[in-house]
Structure 1
Amino acid sequence: MMKPKIGMLHFETVEWIHEVEFYLDEFRVLEELIQRKEDHTNLAKQLHRDIAHTISIVLDQLSRDFIDKLVKHEKHLSNFIMSDTKTNADLYLERHQKLAKMLNQLKRQVRKLKKKVYRYLLEKKYQQRHGFPI
C-alpha cells in the first residue's frame, strides 16, 4: 500500500478520535442531567444508581480503552507516513479494519444507551422493573 492510502487511513483515524471524544462529552452532559433528576423514593434511587453506574462504565471504556487504541493507531500511521522505510502497510490496514468494526459496534451501543437514558430522563413515574431501569 502506498503512503497516500495510509494518509487516508490516518485522516479517518483522527476523525474517529474526534467522534469518540464527542461521545465522551455527550455522556458527561447526560451524567450531569441524571444527577439533577435524582429522586428520593427507593425505586427512583435504585434506577438512578443503575443508570449512573452504566454511564460511568461507558465513559471509562470509551476513554481508557477505545480512545487509547485509536491514539496508538494514529501514532503508528503517522510514523509510517513520516518514515523512509518500505514497511508493509498490510498490518496497518488490518488494524484499521478491526478498529472500524469496533467503532461500528460502539456506535450501536452508544445509540442504544442514549435512547435508554433519554427515556429515563423523560419518565415521570417509575415502575418496578428488573435489571436495567428502562
Structure 2
Amino acid sequence: MAITLDVTEIKKILPHRFPMLLVDRILDLEPMKWAVGIKNISVNEMQFLGHFPDNPIMPGVLLIEAMAQVGGVAMLYPPENRGKIAVFAKIDKVRFHKQVVPGDQVVTRAEVVKIHGNMGVIHCAGKVDGELACECDCFFAIQDK
C-alpha cells in the first residue's frame, strides 16, 4: 500500500517552512528505507529574482536541498523520529546532468544506503520528465531540535 503525503502532512514531519520547504508531495515511501517525492519548480520562487533573471535556472544547492528533504521525510516519518531534525554531515558524489528550470517537476527517489546509530547516508536521484537531472549522496545526522 502506497503512503502518500500532501504538504500539510509533510509539514508535520519536516521542520522546514517557506521559503525553505522544498517538497510539494510524497508519492510513496517506506519509512527508513526510501521515499519518492516531487518539487514543482515555479518562476515565482524567490531564487529566480537573482539566479538568473533573464535565464532562470534552479540553483544546484537548492536542488540538492529539495532532494535531501525527500530523504528526510523517509527518516523522520517513524513516530520515534517525529520532532527531530536531519542535518547534513556531508554531501558527496554530486552530479548535475541537466538544468532544472521553471515549469519542471523534479521527481526524487531517495534511498537509504546506510544507517549507523543516528548517522546515515541517502542516495538521491532527481529526474525531470524521466531524465536524470541531479544525483548525490547525502550524509546526515538525526538530532533533537
What is the TM-score when the length of structure 2 is the normalising length?
Answer: 0.27
Q: Name which structure has the greater RCO, CA cutoff 8 Å, separation 6+.
A: 1
What is the TM-score when the length of structure 1 is the normalising length?
Answer: 0.29
Structure index of larger Rg: 1
Structure with more of its chain in strand, by fraction: 2
Structure with more of its chain in helix, by fraction: 1
